[in-house]
Amino acid sequence: MTELPRKIAVVGAGEIGRGWAALCASAGWPVTIFDSDSGAAEQAMVEVPRRARVLIDFERATSGIVERGLLEFHQGRSLLQAVRDADWVIEAVAEDLQSKQLAFERIEEVADKDAVITSSTSGLPPNDLFARCRDQGRCLVAHPLNPPELVPLVELVPGDFTDPAALLRTEGYLRALGRIPITLKRAVPGFVVGRIAAAVYRECIDLVLKDVIEVDDLDRAVSLGPALGWATAGPHLTYHLGAGEGGVQIFLQQLLTAFEGWWGGLASWQKLEPEEQHALIQAVERAYTGKVAMLREARDRRLNAMLRALEEARSDATG
Amino acid sequence: MTELPRKIAVVGAGEIGRGWAALCASAGWPVTIFDSDSGAAEQAMVEVPRRARVLIDFERATSGIVERGLLEFHQGRSLLQAVRDADWVIEAVAEDLQSKQLAFERIEEVADKDAVITSSTSGLPPNDLFARCRDQGRCLVAHPLNPPELVPLVELVPGDFTDPAALLRTEGYLRALGRIPITLKRAVPGFVVGRIAAAVYRECIDLVLKDVIEVDDLDRAVSLGPALGWATAGPHLTYHLGAGEGGVQIFLQQLLTAFEGWWGGLASWQKLEPEEQHALIQAVERAYTGKVAMLREARDRRLNAMLRALEEARSDATG
């Protein structure tokens, strides 16, 4: 059993930091959030309670526990004050190696010696992130997805010097928060999620820029098509089940030639030029402009409905 | 309003043909299935009723209508007998240009002149598929996903000579079956779904072969992580919502550098060598061997739960 943390510090009050704070507060855990941009931190003092309370409406948290957590939700006046006495410090500053290295260096100077410090990076190398820390044993990557208070997956990526006990403790915290941690066997740039997402995103950009399909039709095609298989079984299992009893071996016999044909034709560019960025932004805005708040609410409602459905289907299966 | 078809002919009794037949029969439509491999066709006579009846358990179809459809579910003794009097002929033979061209040529010789003929190909060029047909106006691609009786998306890809009326009629049939047709603006190899799936699959294979993660952990990471976003919003909308009010423009400012770094490092091979195929098959079997029937049932149950959740969340939103 992991002992529950007495206090969480979240360093960085952007979308991801707010999500971590909402998640931890919704479990009744005391959270202090800090951002060197005090405007961002003050906005978080409004947004985090709102996001934590949405979890009550979604029946993912109970009112009593959320409100107890929110009573102990504070804005840190300084990094020192935020981090002091925290058992778990969550770094969620800008996705940029130098910013994160600096954040780690500063956090480590003031953190309790028993604190575990995790980075929310979506793909920077852990060894580089922790390079300036004296004690890298308590540092590791815990990469959540957006929004962190809803999506269960957290990728865990230890560095070469991470203490296995710090990994175990982080896993315990995450499980106590209802998250599902998956630990990578070794670090690669982008980890697992970022690489797969990058492969998807590049092809989705390319199909729009090549005028094969409009942005909203593409999103509907993915969400009502292959994403359902990926969400219910994952890619490998989807194909293992795709060819009857013979499994992946027969699948490859039947469809490898088709895949090999497609692989050769996929987008392989590595940079999105300014005029392509502009065209992409225009295409996305044509589809969705002025609807961000409404679309986010609808997405979160669908996401919650889907999570509950998956949880019920899984518990039926084991019950 | 599209007039409902008096009879459907399904040519090819593999996984996809059986799914089409189960879907159409579950709507009460008369279906005749034909396969030159009579063993496959006979197996379909058992499997199609089973799969159609699962839709009753899933509350996606009602018993009375399914049983009425199954009363008129027949095995064609010949291609001619199967196709005669059908308003809609669904080609679902092996995914191979020559087999499909030949099937189209033969179907077209015997089909009613008013029949619409659709190919289930997941990515072959429509113009090539229909090249040997006298009247290409009634031919188009209607690509379903696996399993066709559950996944709502159908990609529609007209050829250069497809009559817009044939496209409209196919859309009408699909909507009457509860499917969601998306029409591509132009044909590219693999269409939209195959290309995105190929991009995902290549990276998922690469991560396993490079020993970054085991097959089942990868499947869980995708299904409990990015696939939830793709299934609830699609890739473009996910990123449009990922950076707060600023939308995709701010998202690119914040994360394009990271994506560009990852794009350079993604798998770019175009062939899976025999020893790599062998390693992949071993890794998948290590994770899932001997559990195909159980895993498929669990996948279908989760898929149904997820579809219902999405349908309910969508109708709440508009209600």
Per-residue CA distances from A253 to A260, B94, B95, B267 (Å): 12, 11, 11, 21
Which chain A residue is nearest to residue B221, measuring alpha carbons?
Answer: A153
Q: Look at residue B312 in the predicted model and tell me its pLDDT.
A: 85
Per-residue confidence (pLDDT) for residue A52, from 0 to 100: 98
Mean pLDDT score, A273-294: 93
Task: Say yes or no for a CB contact (<8 Å) between B308 and A309.
Answer: yes
Amino acid symbol at B314: R
Give the bridge partners for A180, in sequence order.
A153
CA–CA separation, A89 and A108 (whole Å): 9
Dihedral sign for Cα atoms in the order B234, B238, B240, B241: positive
Where does chain B show beta strands of DSSP type E? 8-11, 31-34, 73-75, 88-91, 116-119, 139-144, 153-158, 180-183
Mean pLDDT of chain A: 95
Beta strands in chain A (DSSP E): 8-11, 31-34, 73-75, 88-91, 116-119, 139-144, 153-158, 180-183
CATH for A194-288 (1.10.3720.10, 2.40.37.10, 3.40.50.720, 1.10.1040.10): 1.10.1040.10
At A317, the pLDDT band (50, 70, 90 cuts) reads: low
pLDDT in tens, A122-146: 999 999 999 999 999 999 999 999 8
Question: Between residues 149 and 188 of chain B, which touch chain A (CB distance below 8 Å)?
Answer: 150-153, 155, 180, 182, 184-186, 188
Tell me the C-alpha distance between B48 and B24, whole Å.
10
What percent of chain B is modeled with pLDDT above 70? 98
pLDDT value of position A319: 35
Classify residue B186 by its DSSP letter: S
Structure confidence at residue B317 (pLDDT): 53
Residue B10 in 3-state DSSP? strand
What is the CATH class of B191-288?
mainly alpha
Which candidate in A266, A294, A307 is best for mutational testing of the B interface (most B CBs within 10 A)? A266
* E strands present in A100-217: 116-119, 139-144, 153-158, 180-183
- Side-chain half-sphere CA neighbours of B154 within 13 A: 31
Written as six digits, the tokens of B29 are: 């439509």
pLDDT in tens, A231-283: 999 999 999 998 777 889 999 998 999 999 999 999 999 999 999 999 999 99
Listed in order, the ranges of chain A carrying CATH 3.40.50.720 are 8-183
Residues of chain A with Cβ-Cβ distance to B192 below 8 Å are 207, 212-213, 218, 221
More confident call, A311 vs A149: A149
Q: Would you state the pLDDT for residue B319? A: 35
pLDDT, one tens digit per residue, over B235-251 is: 999 999 987 778 899 99
Candidates A16, A120, A157, A224, partner chain B, best to mutate (most B CBs within 10 A): A224
What is each CA distance from B241 to A50, A209, A275, A304, B280, in whole angstroms?
17, 20, 22, 16, 35
Instruction: Give pLDDT tens digits for A26-78.
Output: 999 999 999 999 999 999 999 999 999 999 999 999 999 999 999 999 999 99
* Cβ atoms of residues B248 and A283 within 8 Å: no
Chain B residues with CB under 8 Å of A190 CB are 258, 261-262, 265
B273 contact A CB<8A: no
Contact A97, A70 (CB under 8 A): no
Residue A76 distance to chain B (closest CA, Å): 23
Q: Does the structure show a pLDDT above 90 at B17?
A: yes
B279-285 LR contacts (CB < 8 Å, sep 24+): B279/B209, B280/A248, B280/A252, B280/B205, B280/B208, B280/B209, B281/A248, B281/A249, B281/A252, B283/B208, B283/B209, B283/B214, B283/B215, B284/A236, B284/A240, B284/A247, B284/A248, B284/B215, B285/A247, B285/A248
User: Encoding tokens for residue A194?
Assistant: 């970022």
User: Residues B114-129: what's their mean pLDDT?
Assistant: 97
Beta bridge partners of B155: B143, B182
Decide the pairing of beta strands A31-34 and A8-11: parallel
Whether B169 has a pLDDT exceeding 50, the answer reads yes
Burial B297-312 (b: 16+ CB within 10 A, else e): ebbbbbbbbbbbbbee
- Report the gap between the CA of A307 and the closest CA in chain B (Å): 8
DSSP state of A150: T
Q: Give the residue among B89, B55, B90 at the shortest CA–CA distance from B301.
A: B55
Q: How far is Cα B269 from Cα B279, in angstroms, rounded to an integer? A: 16
For A179, which DSSP code?
A: -
> Is cis: bond before B147, omega within 30 of 0?
yes
| Least confident piece of the model among A27-31, A308-312, B195-199, B240-244 | B240-244
- Across the interface, do A196 and B180 touch by the CB < 8 Å criterion? no
| A255 CB within 8 Å of a chain B CB | yes
Q: Does B204 touch chain A (CB under 8 A)?
A: yes
Closest residue in B to A237 (Cα) is: B219
Percent of chain B with pLDDT over 90: 89
- Nearest CA to B307 out of A65, A317, A313, A97 is that of A313
| In the predicted structure, residue B311 carries a pLDDT above the cut 50 | yes
Closest-CA distance, B125 to chain A, in angstroms, reads 12
Q: Which of A233, A257, A293 minimises the CB distance to B223?
A: A233
Q: What is the pLDDT of residue A81?
A: 96
pLDDT digit string, tens, across residues B125-157: 999 999 999 999 999 999 999 899 999 999 999
What pLDDT does B291 receive?
82
> C-alpha A123: how far from its chain's center?
11
Domain with CATH 1.10.1040.10 in chain B: 191-288
Question: d(Cα B217, Cα B111) in Å, to the nearest integer?
Answer: 48
How many DSSP H helices and E strands does chain A contain? 14, 8
Q: Domain B8-183 adopts which CATH fold?
A: Rossmann fold (3.40.50)
B200 with A235: Cβ contact below 8 A:
yes
Residue A318 has pLDDT above 50, yes or no: no
Contact A199 B203 (CB under 8 A): yes
Contact call for residues B213 and A185 (beta carbons, < 8 A): yes
Residue with tokens 């149950």: B301
The owner of tokens 């941690």 is: A181
* Mean pLDDT in residue range B298-302: 91
Name B292's Cβ contacts closer than 8 Å, sequence gap at least 6.
A240, A241, A245, A247
Surface of B (72-91) touching A: CB under 8 A:
none
Q: Is the Cβ pair B190, A265 closer than 8 Å? A: yes
Q: B12's torsion region: left (phi>0), alpha (psi -120 to 50) or beta?
A: left
Q: Token pair of B201, please?
A: 């699959």
Would an 8 Å CB–CB cutoff place A294 in contact with chain B?
A: no
User: In this predicted structure, what is the pLDDT of residue B1?
Assistant: 57
| Tokens 């209508």 -> residue | B65
CA-based nearest residue in chain B for residue A233: B299
